[in-house]
Structure 1
C-alpha cells in the first residue's frame, strides 16, 4: 500500500519565507503521477531512509484555505497536515470504520469526506484504513457552514441550508457508505433524492442491516444514531457488521471499496 504520512507534502511555494521542498527532497524520492483533482495531485514515491513506498500529495499554497502551526515549527502548514500529525501522535485507529471515526472524534478531528474511495481494505487482514484528510477539520460542537466533501455523501441539511454538525454528517455519510457496501452503489444521486432520504434497497439485505442504514439516513439530524449507538445496534452486535450475516456482509460484499495489499 502507498502509505500517506503527515510529512509527505511537496509545495512549490515558499511558505512563511521557508521553502518546504528542501527538507522533503532529502527524505523522499518523487515518482510518477498517480492522479489529480481539484485540490492537488498525488504521486508515487519512496522514503529514502528505508525504501517505504508512499503516496505524495502536492498542494499549491493558493488552494489551501486553512493553515495551522505544528509545535516547534515556525512556518504554517496546511490544516490537513496538522490533522494527520495530531492523529499520528496518539496512535492507530480501530479495525472498522466506525471505530476509526470514534478515534478521530475522540482526538478532535472530523474527516468530512467519508466515502468508498477514502477507505482502503487490507485483503490479508481485512483491516480498514481511512485516507485523505483534505476535507477534514478540527471537531467542534457548533454547526459548520463549509463543506468540501463529496456531495452525494452529504446530508439533507447541507443541501437545504448549507449547515450541518459533525456527528450528524458523519453518521449520514456512514449510512451512504454502508448502503454502497451492501448494495453495490450509493442510494442517492441527485439533491432531490438526498432530501427525500428514502433509500431503496436493490439487493437482498437483512432486516437488521436495513434498519441500521435507514436510521443513519434519517432526514432529521437529531433522529440519527450516535457512533456508539451504531456499534450497539443488533446488526453490529450480531456479527453481521463484521461479515457474518445474510445480505449484510461488509467483508464479502465490499466490492466498491479499494482493495490493496499492505
Structure 2
C-alpha cells in the first residue's frame, strides 16, 4: 500500500508505504527507464538492485546493516520499482538538520561520522561504491536516545574497481576535486571527500560545492571562532581549531607563499621561529588564513603590558637573539617580513624561558637584490632611508625594526 511522498532523488520519487501481508513499513522508489543502467528485461539485474543486495542482502537482513535493505523489486511499464525497508520513526538527514536549527553539536556529529565511516568501510570491502553521499541520502533513525544513521539511494552507485572512474554519476556539487582537475577519481578518496564535506555541513550548516572550494568560495561560520585581542593592518585575527583539510586553490596570495617559505605547512607546526600556516581559503572577498596558535601565548604588546611595560635586560637579550635568528633564517629562505613590531611577535609563555615567534606576514615581500621603492607596513616602523631616499632593502630594514621593537617601554 502506497501513501505520501517522502522524498525524491535524481532517479525518481520515493513514497512511504506498508507491506500488505504484515504491514511492515516500506519505502517505494520509482526509477524511470532512462535512469536504469541495465536493459529492462527479465535477464539483466539493474545496478542499483545488485549493489543493494551485495551491501545489505534481502528481506531477511532488515535492520542488520548500516544501509537500508532491499525487500523486493520489479518493473512497471518503463519504470523500475524498488521496495526497501523504512525504519519508523526516521527522516533523512536534511530534514533532521532543519529540525535542529541547521547544525548539530560536535559530539553528535562525531557519532554520525563514526557510523558512516564504518558503513562505507563495510561497503567498500563488499565491493560497493555509493558515489553520492550527502545529507539527502542518509536516513536518521530517531526512535532511540542515540540517533542511528543508515545509507540509502544507491542509484548513482557503482562497483569498486582498481582503475579510476572516468565518468561521474551523482551530485556534481559533491564530486571529488580530482574529477574537476584530472577527469578521473577512485572510490576511497571520493568517499573520504564526501564524508568530510558532510561533516563540515553538520557543524557549520553550509553546503559547500567542490567547485566553490576549488575557486576559493567556501562559506565559513564565524560564530565558531573567538576573536583575539590582536588585529593587524589587514584585518582581525581569530582563535579556532582546524576541522578538516581542503585542497589548495590555484592562485596563491603573497602572504600564503611567504608563510610556506618561512615555516612550511601543517607538518611543520612548532618547528620554526615563524608560526606555520595550516590552511587557507577565500570567503567572499576575504582571504582566510588558519595558522597554528601555541597555547598559552600572547602577542608581545600584551606580554609587555602584563610586565608593567618593560622587561629585564636579560629577557630582552633572549628575545632579541631569537628574533635575530628568526629573521636571519627567513632572509636565507628569501622572505622579508617588513613589519616587525611588538604586535607581530607572539610570545609562548608555557615554559620557564618564553620563546618568541613571528606572525602576520601580510605586509611582507620576497628578498631582492635591488631596493624596494614602495613601502607596505606600519609607517612608524619604516627605515630612515625610506624617508630620506624613498627606497630601502630587506637586511637594513629588518635590523632597524628589530632594534626598535618595543622592549624598553
Is the contact between residue 196 and residue 219 of structure 1 (CA under 8 Å) also seen in structure 2? no
How do 1:182-221 and structure 2 match up within 5 A? Answer: 182-188=203-209, 191=211, 193-196=212-215, 199=218, 201-202=220-221, 203-204=223-224, 210-211=242-243, 213-214=244-245, 217-218=246-247
> What are the residue-to-residue correspondences of 1:95-244 with 2, within 5 Å?
96-123=115-142, 124=144, 125-188=146-209, 191=211, 193-196=212-215, 199=218, 201-202=220-221, 203-204=223-224, 210-211=242-243, 213-214=244-245, 217-218=246-247
Change (3 A) 1:100 1:143: same
Q: For structure 2, which runs of at least 5 residues remain unmatched after alignment?
A: 68-113, 227-238, 250-409
CA deviations over 1:110-165 (Å, ceiling 9, x no partner):
11001111112222231111111111111112111122211221122112333111
Contact (CA 8 Å) 2:6, 2:14: kept in 1 or not? Answer: yes
Deviation at 1:109, TM superposition (A): 0.3
Structure 1 residue aligned with 2:46, among 62, 67, 78?
Answer: 78
Structure 1 residues 185 and 141: alpha-carbon distance in aligned structure 2, compared to 1, 3 A threshold: same
Summarize the Cα distance change of 1:219–1:106 in structure 2 as closer, same or farther, 3 Å threshold.
farther
Asked if 2 retains the 8 angstrom alpha-carbon contact of 1:156 and 1:219, the reply is no
The Cα of 1:200 is off from its aligned counterpart by 5.4
TM-score (ref. length: structure 1): 0.60
TM-score, normalised via structure 2 length: 0.40
Listed one character per residue, the Cα deviations across residues 174-198 of structure 1 (whole Å, up to 9, x for unaligned) are 111010000011233x72x232478
The answer to whether the 8 A contact 1:182-1:205 is kept is: no
1:31 match:
3
Structure 1 alignment gaps of length 5 or more: 1-28, 221-262
RMSD: 3.1
Name segments (4+ residues, structure 1) moved above 6 Å.
205-209
**Cα distance between partner residues in 1 of 2:9 and 2:151:** 18
Partner in structure 2 of residue 47 of structure 1: 19
1:37/1:115 CA distance change after superposition, 3 Å: closer
Identify if the C-alpha distance between structure 1 residues 99 and 144 changes in structure 2 by more than 3 Å, giving closer, same or farther. same
Contact 1:155 1:194 in 2 (8 A): no
